[in-house]
Amino acid sequence: MPKRLLAILEGVPEANGEPRYILGLSEDVSEGRAAQDRLAFLAGHDRLTHLANQEYFVGRLAQVLKAGGAAAILALEIDEFKAINQLLDRNAGDVLLIDVAMMFRLALKKGDTAARFDADRFFLLVEGAGVAGRAERYARTLLAAVAKRNSARDRVKFGVRMGLAIAGTEGAGSSGADRLIASAEMALASAGASAGRERGSRIAYFDHELEDAARLRRRIEERLTDALAEDLIEVHFQPIACVESGQVCAFETMARWTDPELGSVPPDVFVPVAEASGLIADLGRRVLEKAAREAATWDSALTVAVNLSPGQLSDTLFDEVALILRETGLPPQRLELEITGGQLLADTDRSIAILKRLKALGVCLSMDDFGTGYSSLSYFRMFPFNEVKIDQSFVRTMGESAEALAIVRAVIGLAKGLGMPVVTEGVETETQLAMLRAEGCTYAQGYLIGRPAPIAAFEGVVVDRGKCAVRAGKR
C-alpha cells in the first residue's frame, strides 16, 4: 500500500537574505489517515455488516427527495430473529445477519443504498428511473437468495418479510424521508400480519388502505386507553371439558370490548394494539383480576385459565399475581396461566426464574399453542410447565392430514411420558372429539364444548359441575 506523506518545505536564506537552501521535512501519516478514514466509515456504517447505518440512509433519502428524485424503499425483516438467537446462540444470529447483508451486496446495483437499521431490519433505497420495477426485482432476488441459503444443510432455516413503498404513490406522499420510511414499515407490518402464524418469506406493498389501517390502529389505541380508564373491558369464559366424561373442569378467560364509537372490537384486533402501545400490562392485570374474582365464587373444583401476553412477563408479575390471589381469595391451585413458548425466549433466564416463583406459589403453568412458531422440545426441560395445549390448527386438520394427526399423537405421547395432561384447542366436531379420545387426550376446548360467553351462560355448570353437553347442537 503506498504511503501517505506529509511534506513541509521551507527556504533557508543566506546572510544577505537571498534563499540558497531549501529545508524539507516529510512524515509518513498513513496510519493516522487510515484511522481517520476508519472513523469516518464507522460513522456512516453498521459495525457488524458494514452496510450503511440508519443515520446515513435517512440522510441520503432526504437528499434524493429534496432534489425531486424518484425513490422507492424496500424494508426487510427476519422472522422471529430473537427466537433464532435464543434457540441457538448469538454467534449464529450474527452469522445470519452477515449472510443477509451479503445478499444485499450481491443484489445491489450502483447508485442504490442498503442499510441495517437495527437488530434484524434492513432497508434498501432505490433511486432514479423505474424505481418500482427495480425494487420488485430486488425483492425477488433477495427471496431467491434466502431460498438458496435455506437449502444448505448446515445453515439455520429462516423466513423474511418485506415491505415496499414508493415516493409519490397515493398514501405514501413525498413529504419527507421519515414519512416514506414509515410507509415501508407499514407494508412490512402488513406482510407479517398477512402470514399469521405461518412461516415463510413474503412481501407486501404500501397503499392508502394501509395508511387508513394505521389511522384506525391509532384510534383504537386512544379508545382502548379510555376503556381501561373507565373499566369497560369485560371477561367471557369458554369451558374446558374432560374428553372421557364431557364434564367441565375449567374455564378459559377471554377479554371482550365493546366501544361506544367503534362497536365490538375483536381481541385479535385490540390485543396487538395494546401490546404495541404498552397498554397490555394494564389490560392483562384487569383481566386476571376479574377472572380470579369471578372464579373465587365457583365450585371449589373448577379452575380458571388466563392467557399471559409477552408484555406481562416482567419482574413485577409474581407480586401482581400474589396480590390478586390474596385480595380475591382464589386458591393458587385454581389459577392457570397460559404462556406461548416463543414469548419466553426474549430473556430465557429471567423467564425461568419468574415461572419457577409462580409455580412455587402453587399456580398451574400451561404451555399454550404448542407446535406453532419456534416451539421446541427443550421447553419441557427448560420451563416448569404443568400441562401443554395443542394449537387448534392441528386439531382442525387432523381428520384430513396424516401429518397433523401424527403431531397431535406425538405431543400427547410425549406429555404422557412426562406426566403432563394435554388440552386440545379448536374441537368443533364429534369426529374430532372421538379421535382425541382414541389418542388418550386429557381435555378438550372448542365450540363443540361451548362458545365463549358471560359466566351466567354456564350457571348450572359452575354451581354443580354438571356435565357439559358434548354435541354439535351445542354450537
- Residue 293: pLDDT band with limits 50, 70, 90: very high
Per-residue pLDDT of 275-292, as tens digits, reads 888 899 999 999 999 999
Q: Domain count of the chain?
A: 3
b/e map of 144-174 (b: 16 or more CB within 10 Å)?
ebbeebeeeeeeeebbbbbbbbbbebeebee
Per-residue pLDDT of 139-153, as tens digits, reads 999 999 998 988 887
Q: What is the CATH number of the domain that holds 66?
A: 3.30.70.270
CA distance 410 to 432: 16
Q: 360 and 255 in one domain?
A: yes
pTM of the model: 0.67
What value does the mean pLDDT take over residues 231-255? Answer: 94
Q: 62 and 28 in one domain?
A: no
Q: 39 and 67 in one domain?
A: no
Q: 163 and 62 in one domain?
A: yes
Q: Is 226 within the bounds of a domain?
A: no
Q: Is 213 within the bounds of a domain?
A: no
Q: Which of 71-85, 114-128, 169-183, 300-314 has the lowest mean pLDDT?
A: 169-183
**Whether the Cβ atoms of residue 233 and residue 282 lie closer than 8 Å to each other:** no
The enclosing H or E element of 250 equals strand 248-259
pLDDT of residue 466: 40
Q: Is 219 within the bounds of a domain?
A: no
- Residue 135: pLDDT band with limits 50, 70, 90: very high
- Residue 223: pLDDT band with limits 50, 70, 90: very high
The enclosing H or E element of 78 equals strand 71-78
Q: Is 221 within the bounds of a domain?
A: no
Q: Which residues contact 42 (CB under 8 A, 6 or more apart)?
A: none
**DSSP strands (E only) in 132-224:** 160-166, 202-205
Q: Cell numbers of 380, please?
A: 419441557
Q: 178 and 197 in one domain?
A: yes
Q: 285 and 164 in one domain?
A: no
Listed residues 206, 240, 259: the one ending a domain: 206
Q: 468 and 340 in one domain?
A: yes
Kind of pairing between the strands at 5-13 and 19-28: antiparallel
Q: 245 and 201 in one domain?
A: no
Q: Is 287 within the bounds of a domain?
A: yes
Q: 313 and 284 in one domain?
A: yes
Q: Is 354 within the bounds of a domain?
A: yes
CA distance 214 to 229: 23
- Residue 265: pLDDT band with limits 50, 70, 90: very high
Q: 239 and 158 in one domain?
A: no
Closest CA to 305 of 354, 367, 351: 367
CA distance 427 to 449: 7
b/e map of 20-47 (b: 16 or more CB within 10 Å)?
eeeeeeeeeeeeeeeeeeeeeeeeebbe
What value does the mean pLDDT take over residues 209-220? Answer: 83
The enclosing H or E element of 338 equals strand 335-340
Query: Is pLDDT at 305 greater than 70 in this prediction?
Result: yes
Q: 176 and 93 in one domain?
A: yes
Average pLDDT, the chain: 83
Q: 107 and 25 in one domain?
A: no
Q: Is 217 within the bounds of a domain?
A: no
**Containing domain of residue 5, as a range?**
1-44
Q: Is 100 within the bounds of a domain?
A: yes
Q: What is the CATH number of the domain that holds 246?
A: 3.20.20.450
Q: Which residues contact 399 (CB under 8 A, 6 or more apart)?
A: 405, 431, 432, 435
Residue 195, classed as helix, strand or coil, is helix
What value does the mean pLDDT take over residues 238-263? Answer: 93
